[in-house]
Every structure is written in structure tokens, then in C-alpha cells.
């Protein structure tokens, strides 16, 4: 009786354990499916977010009136970023991978380059042990990975007048180069009288313009026929070299070329350069003013760190005679905090003075 009962119990034990094993397997399967579904939702959300965020950034870069470089700060994971003329597609190379895309509005005259940014190194899968046992179901494992250095794409943009470019390596802005008038001046520097005006005493930082003028004057003093200073600024020249206020008007009439250096006044704290030249009824005289202003802007642009834009503008200015060559250089921005203003550094001011002297010499020799 005991033996019969034991055998019968064994017969019933096998299907019970089979049912239990099947139930456990089903639970594991459902958990795995749920987990994979959750991870897919997460990565799909990430791709959609990145695609839309980058597209908005590209629109903002196109709207910028000034050249700019920008490194995308968000975590870019291991995705592939496919840039097209009017949009971006974010994708990944896995079996269940989805794609996310977004569009931007390019400039018709400066289309966006078509290129893909792909992780440099293969992805190290942190679930490789699990996948060894579940090889047939390896696409059910989590798509979350341990990223080696280089697997996360770096996205960098540059916006220039030619358009926008994107790459993994950071960009640097090229020196500003305004096309200058083709005009042969070739005047003897020793035959010219210059009036150098260091801005306005009401400026927030008059020492900036004064220092630039002082450096240029030191270089040009022995080369020009005569070099005249106004009293503006605080350190532009020794007191005995400064021109008394009562003699300024007469000096302006005497000078062949008048150059005034001011700091800009822009509420948005942009670091820009605007070179103004005086209009004249004499086309040749106006062209000479334009050439000098252009050369000065380009020389400043080579040396001024962080410069966001440069422009050449025709505009009359009080105090610059209409029958003379006249230039007004508005450099930098007086509203930038001193600790963020590159012009607050003595070395930068010295470079600006050297640049001004170089522009004047280039004007007379080309």
C-alpha cells in the first residue's frame, strides 16, 4: 500500500513542478518584456527630446546675426545623429531601435551640411553575462550600456556668414575679414598729420580708448609728420603731449586724417566692433576713409579675443570735417562687466594699439 501511494504521489509531482516552472518562466518573460518595453520608451523619449532640442538650437543659430561657436551641453548617449538639409534624425543600431526626427528652417543661401555623427568606439554592453545565457533572446536585455570614452557623440556647431557646420571636434571662429576697397593710396606717412582722439570723457571706461591711442601714438610718433592728441581719456599720453581743448577744433582742420576710438554702448553686452567712415562729396576721399576704417577693423579683429561681429558703416560724425579723411572705431562694449571684458586686460589694449598703428601703416603702403 505504501509503495503504491508513493508511486502515485510521484506521478502527480511531475506535472505540478512543470506547471510551477512554466509559471515562473512566464513571470520572468513578462517582466523581461515589460522591462524592455520600459527601456524602449525611455530611449525613444530621449531620442525625441534630443532631436527636438537640437533642431531648436539650429533654428536659434540661424537666427543669430553674429558668428558664434557652440558646444551642445546635453548628454548625447550612444546615438547616431543624422543631420540633413532641413532636419535631424536620432537613431541607434539595435534590433528594436526606433528613430526620432525633427525639422528646422535653414537659410536658403546657407544650407545645412548633410553628415552623420557616430560614436567613435563600439559600445561595451554591461549585460553581456546575461546575454550569454539568453543568447536567443538577447534583444530583450536592457539597451542601457556602460559607455567607454568616445562612445558618446560630441556635437559642436559653428555659425558664420557662410552658414552652419557641425562636427565632433570644437570649432574656433576664423578672424573677421571685411572686404576692403581696392584703392592704391601709397602716401608717405611722413607727409601726413594725424589727429588721434581717445573717445569721450563721459565713457564708462575712458582708460580703454586712451590706452589704445597711447600705444598707437608711441609707434607712429617718429614716422608721421605730426601726431596730435586730444585730452580725452586718462592715460593716453603724457600731459605735455596732449592737445588743449581750446586747440582741438583748429587741429581737426589741420589734420589730414582724424581717427577717433570709442567703446560701444550696447545693452546686450555683445563684444562687437563697428568701423565708421565719413561720407564725402569727393568720392576718392570717401573711398580713402572707407579703406582706412576697413583695415582698422580687420587688424582689430585679428587680436580681439571673443569678438562676436564686425561691420563697416558709412556715417557722418560731429567733429570730423567733411573734407578730410575721418574714421570712428567703436570697439568692444562699455556695458560688459570688467571681469568678463577682454579689453580690461592691459595686454589686449596693447594689442589693439599695435593693430591701429599697423592699419595706418598698411593704409599708406597699399
pLDDT surpasses 50 at 138: no
Question: What's the pLDDT tens digit per position in 289-325?
Answer: 889 999 988 888 887 766 777 788 888 876 677 788 8
% of the chain residues with pLDDT over 70: 67
Distance CA 329, CA 209 (A): 10
Query: H or E stretch including 208?
Result: helix 206-220
CATH class of 189-365: alpha beta
Alpha-carbon distance of 57 to 286, in angstroms, equals: 41
Task: Give the model confidence (pLDDT) of 346-365 as tens digits.
Answer: 788 888 888 888 998 888 88
Residue holding cell 536592457?
Answer: 142
Give the pLDDT score at 201.
Answer: 52
Q: 248-278 pLDDT, tens per residue?
A: 677 777 788 888 888 877 766 667 788 888 8
> What's the CA gap between 40 and 60, in Å, rounded?
30
What residues contact 86, with CB distance under 8 A and at least 6 apart?
A: 103, 104, 105, 106, 112
Higher-confidence position of 121 and 124: 121
Q: What φ, ψ does residue 24 adopt, rounded to 5°? A: -60, -45
Q: In which band, very low, low, confident or very high, does the pLDDT at 56 lie, cut at 50, 70 and 90?
A: very high
For β-strands 100-103 and 87-91, DSSP reports them as: antiparallel
pLDDT band, very low/low/confident/very high, at 139 (cuts 50, 70, 90)? very low
The residue among 287 and 366 whose pLDDT is bigger is 287
Torsions phi, psi of 267, nearest 5? Answer: -65, -25
Q: Residue ranges per domain, the chain?
A: 10-167, 189-365
Amino acid at each position: 500500500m505504501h509503495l503504491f501511494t508513493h508511486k502515485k504521489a510521484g506521478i502527480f509531482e511531475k506535472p505540478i513542478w512543470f506547471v510551477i516552472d512554466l509559471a515562473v518562466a512566464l513571470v520572468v518573460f513578462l517582466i523581461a518584456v515589460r522591462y524592455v518595453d520600459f527601456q524602449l520608451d525611455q530611449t525613444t523619449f530621449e531620442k525625441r527630446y534630443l532631436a527636438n532640442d537640437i533642431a531648436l538650437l539650429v533654428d536659434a543659430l540661424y537666427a543669430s546675426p553674429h558668428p558664434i561657436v557652440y558646444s551642445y551641453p546635453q548628454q548625447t548617449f550612444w546615438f547616431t545623429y543624422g543631420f540633413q538639409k532641413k532636419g535631424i534624425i536620432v537613431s541607434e543600431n539595435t534590433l528594436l531601435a526606433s528613430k526620432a526626427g525633427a525639422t528646422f528652417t535653414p537659410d536658403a543661401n546657407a544650407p545645412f551640411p548633410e553628415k552623420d555623427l557616430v560614436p567613435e568606439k563600439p559600445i561595451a554592453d554591461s549585460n553581456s553575462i546575461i546575454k550569454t545565457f539568453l543568447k536567443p533572446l538577447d534583444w530583450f536585455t536592457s539597451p542601457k550600456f556602460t559607455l567607454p570614452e568616445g562612445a558618446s557623440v560630441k556635437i559642436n556647431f559653428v555659425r558664420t556668414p557662410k552658414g552652419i557646420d557641425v562636427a565632433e571636434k570644437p570649432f574656433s571662429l576664423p578672424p573677421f575679414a571685411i572686404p576692403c576697397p581696392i584703392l592704391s593710396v601709397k602716401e608717405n606717412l611722413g607727409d601726413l598729420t594725424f589727429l588721434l582722439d581717445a573717445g569721450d570723457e563721459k565713457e564708462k571706461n575712458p582708460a580703454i580708448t586712451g590706452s589704445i591711442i597711447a600705444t598707437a601714438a608711441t609707434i607712429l610718433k617718429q614716422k608721421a609728420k605730426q601726431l596730435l592728441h586730444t585730452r580725452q581719456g586718462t592715460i593716453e599720453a603724457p600731459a605735455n603731449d596732449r592737445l588743449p581743448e581750446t586747440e582741438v577744433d583748429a587741429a581737426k582742420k589741420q589734420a589730414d586724417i582724424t581717427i577717433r576710438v570709442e567703446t560701444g554702448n550696447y545693452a546686450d553686452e555683445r563684444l562687437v566692433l563697428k568701423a565708421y567712415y565719413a561720407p564725402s562729396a569727393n568720392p576718392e576721399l570717401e573711398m580713402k576713409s572707407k579703406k582706412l576704417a576697413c583695415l582698422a577693423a580687420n587688424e582689430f579683429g585679428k587680436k580681439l579675443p571673443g569678438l562676436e561681429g564686425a561691420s563697416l558703416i558709412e556715417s557722418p560724425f560731429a567733429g570730423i570735417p567733411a573734407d578730410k579723411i575721418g574714421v570712428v572705431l567703436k570697439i568692444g562694449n562699455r556695458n560688459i562687466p570688467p571681469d568678463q571684458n577682454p579689453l580690461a586686460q592691459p595686454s589686449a589694449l596693447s594689442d589693439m594699439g599695435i593693430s591701429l598703428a599697423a592699419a595706418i601703416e598698411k593704409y599708406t603702403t597699399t
